[in-house]
Structure 1
Amino acid sequence: MTGVPLKHQRISRILAQEIRAGSYPAGEPLPGEHALAQRFGVSRTTIRAALAELTEESLITTRTGKGSYVRFDARPPDDRLGWARPRAVHGAGTTVRTLAVRETRDGALAAELGLEKDVFVCVERTCELVTDATVVSYERSFLPPVPGIRELPAHGFGQDPPTELLRRAGLRPDHGEQRVSGRPVDTHEAELLRRAPGDWFLQTRRTSRAADGSFVEHVVSLLDPDHFELTLTFG
């Protein structure tokens, strides 16, 4: 009958609603094909067709031999908070770990950003899944050493979220740019990510500036492509 969804379409719509509602936290596996087939009273072939539709919608990713996993992109992130923080905010079952907060000099980065001074406060963080401690991102945030930020290496973040610290320091992002590429991780990065050197990761480089064009933040992130994807909208 025209207009009546097929079995696999009906199942994919139900699962999509459950994913968006948070019934299956991002990064965690869906029930297996056999369990889903029993739940909906259909064949595994029908379930595979439903999962294929969810994959096309970027709601899940299928790993050979490991089942189907909900993508982080199932919930829209707030890029103002970086990559790691929004997953925790949206209940994605992740833990953000601060590895280091230190003052550093980087002449090449200062030249790239058009800054006279090459001193930054660098914050290094990783984000890992609560379920199995898989590290899915490694992020380095470079901040100008203004009052309220330059004290961080000595005092740390405390209980304040990064956005609140930036706001109190007078660093209010208004615009910026982000570049996305892919590259193999080096030995040091592989150790932090608990991967093998040479494993391929997405890399984003995001620079934020205030309304007057002054520098606010530069963030370099390495993202596990099994859990992150680049989505572009147009039109």
Structure 2
Amino acid sequence: MIRQARSNKKQRVVDELVHRIESGLLADGLPLPEEDQLAQELGVSRSTLRHALTELERRRYIAMQTGGGSVVTYDGMTLDQNNGWTQALADTGARIHTELLRFEAIERPEMLHQFGVSHFIALDRRRRRADGTAVSLERSLMPATHGLESLPRVGLIDNSLTITLAAYGFVGERGDQWIGAEPLSEEEALLLGRAPGTVFLKALRTTYDRQGRFMEQVESWLDPLHFRMHQSFGTPT
């Protein structure tokens, strides 16, 4: 009976919020009210509200963002990775030059099970400060499908991979990112102008688009003198 009551409450919240969204009471693109406020207004616990919001996200009525998430910073400035790091670094005012190291079609049969494709476009880029110091090395893989297979020939739009992917119908919606500290191999050390074994931050970010398609995996080696991971938590006072 208790489980049935909880289910009924969740469904009531789902129905009410769907009504508000479809009637325009909750405008598209604007954030929902704070969870505490919304739960109190609807007369349910936050737990019930969260279950209802998860259902709405599954049905694509809303897109939830997890509060207190981790972000990457450059010299203390937050990088908005949704716009691509080329633009994000430019927005910080940093004088960063991006070098193209590799842009070609490759085959990776061992990745077929993971991503549903075995042919990829590989894009390797190195970023340098104005004094010539390399601060990052990024290796991106995109599926060689839906027109992306032509990218090595036609190039990127505005030198931005994010803008280019969007132009081909790939707009990121979900994914994950792992960040840790690892020593550079001889190959990475050579490309970054550092001694082998130098510890850098390593980030592995995988992104899927609005249709659930794999769109990019990027492995980044980041100079810890400039890049940091920042995490906020709790409720601001």
Query: What range describes the TM-score normalised by the shorter chain of this pair?
Result: 0.5 to 0.7
Distance 2:198 2:86 in 1: 20
Partner of 1:169: 168
Q: Secondary structure at the match of 1:181?
A: strand
- The answer as to whether partners of 1:84 and 1:137 remain within 8 angstroms in 2 is no
Q: Secondary structure at the match of 2:162?
A: helix
Distance 1:84 1:204, change over 3 A: farther
User: Normalised by the size of structure 2, how large is the TM-score?
Assistant: 0.63
CA displacement at 1:199 relative to structure 2? 0.8
Aligned residues: 162
CA displacement at 1:219 relative to structure 2? 0.7
Partner of 1:232: 231
**Aligned 1:33-48 pairs, distance under 5 A:** none
CA displacement at 1:201 relative to structure 2? 0.7
- The answer as to whether partners of 1:97 and 1:127 remain within 8 angstroms in 2 is yes
Q: Is residue 78 of structure 1 aligned with residue 77 of structure 2?
A: no
- The answer as to whether partners of 1:127 and 1:137 remain within 8 angstroms in 2 is yes
Partner of 2:120: 120
Partner of 1:157: 156
**Aligned 1:15-164 pairs, distance under 5 A:** 72-111=74-113, 114-130=114-130, 132-157=131-156, 159-164=158-163
Partner of 2:209: 210
Task: Letter of the 2:82 partner, please give it.
Answer: R
- The answer as to whether partners of 2:202 and 2:221 remain within 8 angstroms in 1 is yes
Q: Secondary structure at the match of 2:216?
A: strand
Q: Percent identity?
A: 32
Higher RCO structure (Cα 8 Å, ≥6 apart): 2
Distance 2:133 2:126 in 1: 10
User: Normalised by the size of structure 1, how large is the TM-score?
Assistant: 0.64
- My pick for the range that moved more, 78-87 or 211-220, is 78-87
CA displacement at 1:96 relative to structure 2? 1.1
CA displacement at 1:107 relative to structure 2? 3.5
Distance 1:226 1:160, change over 3 A: closer
Distance 2:202 2:86 in 1: 14
- The answer as to whether partners of 2:107 and 2:118 remain within 8 angstroms in 1 is yes
Partner of 1:195: 194
Deviations 1:58-88 (A, max 9, x none): xxxxxxxxxxxxx724222111244454112
Deviations 1:111-148 (A, max 9, x none): 4xx22321110110011101x11000000111111233
Consecutive aligned runs of 4 or more in structure 1 exceeding 6 Å deviation? none
Distance 1:183 1:107 in 2: 27
Q: Secondary structure at the match of 2:224?
A: coil
Structure 2 alignment gaps of length 5 or more: 1-72
- The answer as to whether partners of 1:88 and 1:95 remain within 8 angstroms in 2 is no
Partner of 1:48: none
- The answer as to whether partners of 2:76 and 2:228 remain within 8 angstroms in 1 is no
Partner of 2:44: none
Distance 1:195 1:85, change over 3 A: farther
CA displacement at 1:89 relative to structure 2? 3.3
Structure 1 alignment gaps of length 5 or more: 1-70
Distance 1:74 1:116 in 2: 38
CA displacement at 1:160 relative to structure 2? 4.7
Q: Secondary structure at the match of 1:188?
A: helix
Distance 1:133 1:194 in 2: 10
CA displacement at 1:167 relative to structure 2? 1.0
